[in-house]
Amino acid sequence: GKPVCECNLCYSGPDCSNFSPDCPADANDGDPYYLEEFWKKHAASSAVMVSGWHRMSYSYSFSDQYCQISEELEKHIRKVHEVVGNAITDGKYIICGAGATQLLNAAVHALSSNNPSIFPTRVVATAPYYKVYQTQTEYFESNRYRFEGEASACMNGSDTTTNIIEFVTSPSNPEGQFKRPVLSGPNVKTIYDRAYYWPNFTPIPGPADEDLSIFTISKLTGHAGSRFGWALVKDKEVYERMTEYLNENTVGISKDTQLRMLKILKVVLEDGSKEMFGFAHRIMKNRWERLRDVLAHSDRFSLQQTPAQYCTFTHGVREPTPAYAWLKCEKEEDENCSDVLRSANIIGRKGDLFNADNHYVRLSLIRTEDDFDNLINRLHKMVNTKPRVL
Ligand code: PMP
C-alpha cells in the first residue's frame, strides 16, 4: 500500500504538500534557515565527503597531539574577520567550541576567580538579554560563580573585592543594538558576545578589539547544526583556562565539523565575501522593509529603532537589519503581548524570557521564507482587523 505520511501541523494531504490555513506563524526560535537558498546555490562547492577511515584520531597528527583546531581553519577564521573588518585577530588566541554556547561557560569558568576566599564571582548582564547567560550559569552550579542578574545592581557597590563578569551582547539579542559594558574596574571582566556582528545584521563601524569576544558560525552562515563557535582571546592565561575547560569537557571539538567549517568558510571568502554577505543583507533588508511596512500604521504595535551608520565593509551608510524584531504592544492592557499575538496564530518569544517586560515579544526574522511570509500575512490580518465591539 501507500506509505503513511505523517504531516506536521502546517501541511496536510496524502503527500503533505497542502499548506494548511491553520498553520501558526512560527517566529519563536532563531534557527537561521534564511541562508538555505544561498547554500543550495553553492551545493557542490560547499559539500564535504569524509570516508569511514578518515579523521578517526582524537588529534590531527601524532606530532601535534594537543592541537584543538587545524591551522588551516584558524587561518580562514582570521581571514574572514580581516575581510569583513569586524575584529582584530592579530596577537589573539583562537579557541573553538561546540557553538558559542559551550564557549560562554568556558569563558565564565576562565574569568571567574579560582581563589576560594573571594568566591563566588558575580555574573551579570543588562536586560533584555539572552537568557542562556543565566540558565547556563545556574545549571552548572559551580561554587566559583553565581548569576546575579542586572549589571546595574553592581554599579554603586563599594565592594571591589569580589570579581564580576559582565556579559555584553553587541549587537544585542533581542534588540539588535550596539551595547557597551555598564561596569568597569579592576575586578570586572567582560565577555563580549559578538554572535550578530556580521554584515548580515548590522553595519560594521569598525573592528572589535576586546579581551574576550565570542563568535559563532550559526548566525554567520546559518550552520547552527554543526555546533561551531570560536573565541578571540587576548590573555594567554585566560586562553589556557578555556582550553583546559574544553579538554575536560569534550577533548576539543569534532574534526568532522572542523573540516566542514573550513569548506564553508572557503565559499564565504570567495570573491572577497561579497556574494554571501550581499545575499544575507538583501534578504534581511527585504524582510525589515516588509515588516516595517505592515506595522507602519499601527498604533498598537511598535518596533525597535536602530540608527543607520557608516559601514566599513560596504563603504557606505546603511541601516541595521537585526535578526529579531523586538515588538512592543503599546497598549497598557496588552500586558501579555505574546498572548495577543498567539490569538492571531503568531508564535513569538515573550519578554520575560529576556528578563524584560511582557509588553515585548521577540519575533525571529531569520527563519525560512515560508515562515516569514506566514508571519507577515498574519500580522497584516491582525493590524487590519478592527477589534470586536462586545
Ligand atoms: N549568543 C547569542 C546572543 C545567541 O543569540 C546565540 C544563538 N541564539 C548564541 C550565543 C549561541 O549560538 P551557538 O549556536 O553558536 O551555540
pLDDT per residue as tens, the chain (390 positions): 555 667 887 888 888 888 787 889 999 998 999 999 999 999 999 999 989 988 888 875 544 444 467 889 999 999 999 999 999 999 999 999 999 999 999 999 999 988 888 889 999 999 999 999 999 999 998 999 999 999 998 886 656 778 999 999 999 999 999 999 999 999 999 999 999 999 999 999 999 999 999 999 999 999 999 999 999 999 999 999 999 999 999 988 899 999 999 999 999 999 889 999 999 999 999 999 999 999 998 999 999 999 999 999 999 999 999 999 999 999 999 999 999 999 999 999 999 999 999 999 999 999 999 999 999 999 999 998 765 565
Q: Is 252 in the pocket of ligand 1 (CB under 6 A)?
A: no
How far apart CA 157 and CA 164 sit, in angstroms, is 11
ipTM of the complex: 0.99
Grid cell of 330 as nine digits: 503599546
Q: Is 218 in the pocket of ligand 1 (CB under 6 A)?
A: yes
Centre of ligand 1 from the C-alpha of residue 56, in Å: 29
Note the pLDDT of residue 158.
Answer: 55
Looking at ligand 1, which atom is closest to the CA of residue 323? 5
How far apart CA 118 and CA 123 sit, in angstroms, is 14
Grid cell of 29 as nine digits: 526560535
For residues 98 and 237, state if they share a domain. Answer: yes
For residues 221 and 295, state if they share a domain. Answer: no
For residues 277 and 267, state if they share a domain. Answer: no
Q: Is 100 in the pocket of ligand 1 (CB under 6 A)?
A: yes
For residues 69 and 36, state if they share a domain. Answer: no
Q: Is residue 56 part of a domain?
A: no
Q: At what angle do helices 99-111 and 236-250 cross, to 10 degrees?
A: 120
Q: Is 323 in the pocket of ligand 1 (CB under 6 A)?
A: no
* pTM score, whole prediction: 0.94
Note the pLDDT of residue 248.
Answer: 92
CA distances for 323 relative to 83, 201, 237, 278, angstroms: 22, 6, 34, 15
Centre of ligand 1 from the C-alpha of residue 195, in Å: 6
For residues 258 and 279, state if they share a domain. Answer: no
Q: Is residue 57 part of a domain?
A: no
Note the pLDDT of residue 375.
Answer: 97
How far apart CA 259 and CA 328 sit, in angstroms, is 42
For residues 216 and 313, state if they share a domain. Answer: no
Q: Is 229 in the pocket of ligand 1 (CB under 6 A)?
A: yes
Q: Is 193 in the pocket of ligand 1 (CB under 6 A)?
A: yes
For residues 265 and 338, state if they share a domain. Answer: no
What is the tally of structural domains in the chain?
2
HEC secondary structure over the chain: CCCCCCCCCCEECCCCCEECCCCCEECCCCCCHHHHHHHHHCCCCCCCCCCCCCCCCCCCCHHHCCCCCCHHHHHHHHHHHHHHCCECCCCCEEEEECHHHHHHHHHHHHHCCCCHHHCCEEEEECCCCCCHHHHHHHHHCCCCEEEEEEHHHHCCCCCCCCCEEEEEECCCCCCCCCCCCCCCCCCEEEEEECCCCCCCCCCCCCCECCCEEEEEHHHHCCCHHHCCEEEEECCHHHHHHHHHHHHHHHCCCCHHHHHHHHHHHHHHHHHHHHHHHHHHHHHHHHHHHHHHHHHCCCCCEECCCCCCEEECCCCEEECCCCCEEEEEECCCCCCCHHHHHHCCCEECEEHHHHCCCCCEEEEECCCCHHHHHHHHHHHHHHHCCCCCCC
Centre of ligand 1 from the C-alpha of residue 100, in Å: 6
Note the pLDDT of residue 116.
Answer: 81
Looking at ligand 1, which atom is closest to the CA of residue 173? 3
Q: Is 171 in the pocket of ligand 1 (CB under 6 A)?
A: no
Query: Which of 271, 302, 334 is the last residue before a domain boundary?
Result: 271
Q: Is 258 in the pocket of ligand 1 (CB under 6 A)?
A: no
**What is the domain extent for residue 265?**
65-271
Q: Which residue's C-alpha comes closest to atom 2 of ligand 1?
A: 195
Centre of ligand 1 from the C-alpha of residue 101, in Å: 6
How far apart CA 246 and CA 85 sit, in angstroms, is 28
For residues 242 and 356, state if they share a domain. Answer: no
Looking at ligand 1, which atom is closest to the CA of residue 218? 14
For residues 266 and 179, state if they share a domain. Answer: yes
Q: Is residue 6 part of a domain?
A: no
Centre of ligand 1 from the C-alpha of residue 230, in Å: 11
Query: Which of 271, 299, 317 is the last residue before a domain boundary?
Result: 271
Q: Is residue 53 part of a domain?
A: no
Grid cell of 48 as nine digits: 564535504
Looking at ligand 1, which atom is closest to the CA of residue 103? 16
CATH number (domain holding residue 289): 3.90.1150.10
Give backbone dihedrals phi and psi of 69, rounded to 5 degrees, phi first. Answer: -150, 140
For residues 36 and 107, state if they share a domain. Answer: no
Q: At what angle do helices 255-269 and 71-84 cross, to 10 degrees?
A: 30
Picking from 7, 26, 27, the residue whose alpha carbon sits closest to that of residue 18 is: 7
For residues 319 and 279, state if they share a domain. Answer: yes
Residues facing 232 on adjacent strands:
94, 213
Q: Is 128 in the pocket of ligand 1 (CB under 6 A)?
A: no
CATH number (domain holding residue 80): 3.40.640.10
Q: Which residue's C-alpha comes closest to atom 8 of ligand 1?
A: 30
Note the pLDDT of residue 15.
Answer: 84
Residue 190 and residue 212 in contact, taking contact as beta carbons nearer than 8 Å: yes
For residues 265 and 347, state if they share a domain. Answer: no
Q: Is residue 389 part of a domain?
A: no
Note the pLDDT of residue 156.
Answer: 67
CA distances for 23 relative to 26, 291, 325, 374, 382, angstroms: 9, 19, 21, 8, 15
Residue type, 142: S
Q: Is 173 in the pocket of ligand 1 (CB under 6 A)?
A: yes
Report residue 348 CA to chain centroid gap: 16
Looking at ligand 1, which atom is closest to the CA of residue 224? 14
Q: Is 356 in the pocket of ligand 1 (CB under 6 A)?
A: no
Q: Is residue 1 part of a domain?
A: no
Picking from 160, 175, 162, 116, the residue whose alpha carbon sits closest to that of residue 142 is: 116
Residue 176 and residue 305 in contact, taking contact as beta carbons nearer than 8 Å: no
Q: Is residue 48 part of a domain?
A: no
Q: Is residue 4 part of a domain?
A: no
What per-residue string of b and e applies to 327-343 under the rule 16 or more CB within 10 Å gives b?
bbbeeeebebbbebbee
Q: Is 306 in the pocket of ligand 1 (CB under 6 A)?
A: no
Query: Which of 251, 271, 291 is the last residue before a domain boundary?
Result: 271
